[in-house]
Homo-oligomer: A and B are copies of this chain.
């Protein structure tokens, strides 16, 4: 039971759970280990769980008609990842979610979550709050993509998420920020030659 504690702690930041509730909740949490380059979500398959990252790094991305990759999200320790749309509508995923390192996850199955949301209504509040924050984040990202240049978005990301930038391949970062790898090189070159 101890190994799923990180998720119990995570939820406890938002709502107060009794010991009984914690124990009950823990029965639904499962540890999963995945190797680098392994997929935990693939297009065409319904996303069956949400995953909390205990150790490692992940990337969620779409491959478009021309075969180009577009990164929607990253996740490192203490973050969650899934194909959100596939999960909540229980329809086939459009994203790949791939381990960028050997990783350890705590997973919650969709049906189990539905079940314990009924059993412990307090968890609705937890879900609501983290979803609201994620929504606010995505709205900001959308506006940032509209208003800022490629270089400004790069600077913003580096100052906020340098921990992630250090751990993910450069093409993944470029595709998250919405421009080509080549252009990322150009930006970085511009900076190093300046200083």
- Of A89, A134, A146, the most chain B CB neighbours within 10 A belong to A146
Partner of A124 from the list B72, B128, B175 (CB cut-off 8 Å) is B128
Is A138 interfacial (CB-CB < 8 Å)? yes
Contact of A140 among B65, B85, B147 (CB under 8 A): B85
Give chain A interface residues in 97-121, CB to chain B under 8 Å: 117, 121
Chain B residue contacts of A84, Cβ below 8 A: 132, 135-136, 139
B133, A88: Cβ atoms closer than 8 Å? yes
Q: Is the CB of A163 closer than 8 A to any CB of chain B?
A: no
A176 to chain B, nearest CB (A): 9
Most chain B Cβ neighbours within 10 Å, of A85, A134, A140, A141: A85
Shortest A137–chain B CB gap in Å is 9
| Distance of A112 from chain B, by nearest CB (Å) | 16
Residues on the B chain within 8 Å of A175, using CB? 146
Taking the complex as formed, is A131 at the interface, i.e. its CB lies under 8 A from any CB of chain B? yes
Q: In this assembly, does A188 line the interface, its C-beta being within 8 Å of a C-beta of chain B?
A: no
Q: Is A8 located at the chain interface by the 8 A CB criterion?
A: no
With the chains together, A68 CA to B117 CA distance in Å? 44
CA of A136 to CA of B64, assembled, Å: 18
- Asked whether any CB of chain B lies closer than 8 Å to the CB of A127, the reply is yes
Interface membership of A142, Cβ < 8 A: yes
**CB–CB B140/A141 < 8 A:** no
Please indicate which of the listed interface residues A68, A131, A134 has the most CB atoms of chain B within 10 Å of its own CB: A131
A43 on the B face (CB < 8 A): no
List 15 contacting pairs A-B, 8 Å CB cutoff, sorted by A.
A62-B143, A62-B146, A70-B146, A72-B139, A88-B133, A89-B136, A117-B125, A121-B125, A131-B131, A131-B135, A135-B135, A138-B142, A141-B142, A142-B142, A146-B178
Interface residues of A (CB under 8 A from B): 62, 64-65, 68, 70, 72, 84-85, 88-89, 117, 121, 124-125, 127-128, 131-136, 138-143, 145-147, 175, 178
